[in-house]
Amino acid sequence: MKYKQLQTNMSARHLPLMLSLLLLLCSCHESGHDPGKELYEQQLQQKGILAHRIDSLFSSAFTDPLGVERGLEELYLHRGVSAGTLSSDPFFYSQVTYVRKALSFSLRAHSLQALLASEHFDHFQTMLRQGSAGSASEEYPATDPTVLLQIRSALEGELRQFLEKGAPSYALRDQQKEEQLRTFIQERAIGRIDQELASYKSFTGREAELEGKVWHQEAYKRGEDPGYSLRVPYTVEKLFEGKITFGRDHQLQLDSLQLPTSYYSFTYGYQRGEIFKSFEGRGRGIDNSIFAVLNGPMEPTGQRYYFGERYLTLILPLKPSTDYPKSSRYTIAITLEYDQAKYKDSPRQLIPRYEYGLDDTGQEGPLDPYLFYSIYDERQHWGTILVRNYAPNYVWAGPVSFRPAP
């Protein structure tokens, strides 16, 4: 009884309000006014504004990366439709990701421009120089073109990773933005690196002299050891059967390569030398030499060469390896600072220039060749080492030299 009375009192109390709402709804219906539709159209308009804002940020990322960083922060601080939409809506999520990728590439391109304006990477030097008795060895940063090749490789790898694995995972892709990213990297980063490398005449510019020709590596025979000596004489025995074909646009096809170890170029326990030891352990040849072959560690594609007024550099990507856990896939660059007089001789020979000085017997003669190994991957440049011709007589330490095919 009391419940019915209370219900009657509440109905009587709210009757004017209910009548007002009923009249409002009737008038909306009669006038065509739909609050739900109005709210939907308002949200649609806000999303259009948000999409336009994100497009503007994407375009500005290539020229004003710092301004776009602030713009992204403001986008997430906004309390309107963007607050939840940026993470929950597949379209806006992918669009913001394109902005972030453009921002990342733009910052790297600007950093590259600053680096090239302040430094030149046109000469090879060893990362480690042995100190005199009782003094520590001195470390030096790489100052050669392989530093720029590493940056180039990293940019290409990041772009490839995004276009082949990142973008395809989005519910909604934007092919136009992907093409803009590709064009920006090619023109403002990779193209800038190629332009800088082309200016290093000691490193490149003479490839036409080798283009279309086949060369072979020379095989050396160890001479008689007159006693305990760390520099054993070597004489040319023959040419290896494996071909080295120099193609157009720096393309190289190399069947095999015999190299001396760099083990004795490092001080004992030198940590940065571990990756060089990993490379050397992947292809063993006669007398503990490194013998890299296509069915071994070398990739059959992606090999390149550069030939300039001072250097011949062979770029050899290696197959993935678990030997060195910090880098599963890396590239080694073999560089000869070649003897220009012997290159001009007939028949031509590409052989490193040698440092001259007193040997173990006090006689003046050739000591260490100007032969460099550089190792890098998409993450970092691991260093450049001058390979010393200073090793026990049971280790192959012969020259690395080439002659044209007969």
Q: What is the pLDDT of residues 190-246, one digit of tens each?
A: 999 999 999 999 999 999 999 999 999 999 888 776 665 667 778 888 999 889 999
- Least confident span in 141-145, 172-176, 324-328: 324-328
For residues 229 and 164, state if they share a domain: no
For residues 285 and 373, state if they share a domain: yes
Report CA 404 to chain centroid distance, whole Å.
32
* Distant-in-sequence, close-in-space partners of 269: CB < 8 Å, separation ≥ 6: none
pLDDT of residue 376 exceeding 60, the answer is yes
* Distant-in-sequence, close-in-space partners of 49: CB < 8 Å, separation ≥ 6: none
pLDDT grade, residue 48 (50/70/90)? confident
Task: Tell me phi and psi for residue 94, to 5 degrees.
Answer: -65, -40
For residues 311 and 192, state if they share a domain: no
Number of Cβ within a 10 Å radius of residue 385: 24
Specify the pLDDT at position 14.
42
The CA distance from 322 to 320, in Å, is 7
- pTM (2 d.p.): 0.84
For residue 347, cis peptide bond before it (omega within 30 degrees of 0): yes
For residues 366 and 229, state if they share a domain: yes
Residue 259, in any domain of the structure: yes
Mean pLDDT within 355-369: 80
For residues 106 and 172, state if they share a domain: yes
Residue 263, in any domain of the structure: yes
Q: What is the dihedral of CA 199, 204, 208, 214, to 10 degrees?
A: -170
| Final residue in a domain of this structure, among 140, 167, 199 | 199
pLDDT of residue 3 exceeding 70, the answer is no
Q: What is the CA radius of gyration of the chain?
A: 33
Specify the pLDDT at position 144.
97
Mean pLDDT within 14-18: 44
Higher pLDDT, residue 187 or 394: 187
| Final residue in a domain of this structure, among 165, 199, 233 | 199
Residues in the chain: 406
pLDDT grade, residue 270 (50/70/90)? confident
For residues 193 and 233, state if they share a domain: no
Mean pLDDT within 159-183: 92
For residues 175 and 235, state if they share a domain: no
Residue 355, in any domain of the structure: yes
Strands 381-386 and 402-404 come out as unpaired
Mean pLDDT within 169-198: 94
For residues 190 and 213, state if they share a domain: no
For residues 54 and 104, state if they share a domain: yes
pLDDT grade, residue 13 (50/70/90)? very low
The domain tally of the chain equals: 2
Residue 366, in any domain of the structure: yes
Specify the pLDDT at position 45.
65
For residues 216 and 194, state if they share a domain: no
Residue 27, in any domain of the structure: no
Domain that holds residue 161: 41-118+149-199
Mean pLDDT within 113-122: 96
Residue 30, in any domain of the structure: no
Specify the pLDDT at position 9.
43
For residues 315 and 294, state if they share a domain: yes
Specify the pLDDT at position 229.
64
pLDDT of residue 258 exceeding 80, the answer is yes
What is the 3-state secondary structure of the chain?
CHHHHHHHHHHHHHHHHHHHHHHHHHHHHHHCCCHHHHHHHHHHHHHHHHHHHHHHHHHHHCCCHHHHHHHHHHHHHCCCCHHHHHHHCHHHHHHHHHHHHHHHHHHHHHHHHHHHHHCCCCCCCCCEECCCCCCCCEECCCCCCHHHHHHHHHHHHHHHHHHHHHHHHCCCCCHHHHHHHHHHHHHHHHHHHHHHHHCCCCCCCCHHHCCCCEEEEEEEEECCCCCCCCCCCEEEEEEEEEEEEECHHHEEEECEEEECCCHHHCCCCCHHHHHHHHHHCCCECHHHCEEEECCCCECCCCCEEEECCCEEEEEEEECCCCCCCCCCCCEEEEEEEECHHHHHCCCCCECECEEEEECCCCCEEEEEECEEEEEECCCCEEEEEECCCCCCCCCCCCCCCEEECC
Q: At what angle do helices 90-118 and 146-161 cross, to 10 degrees?
A: 170
Residue 136, in any domain of the structure: no
pLDDT of residue 354 exceeding 60, the answer is yes
* Sequence letter at residue 324: Y
Mean pLDDT within 163-176: 89
For residues 168 and 226, state if they share a domain: no
- Least confident span in 56-70, 86-100, 136-150, 198-212: 86-100
Contact 263, 280 (CB under 8 A): yes
Residue 341, in any domain of the structure: yes
- Of the candidates 234, 265, 331, 326, the residue with the CA atom closest to the CA atom of residue 292: 331
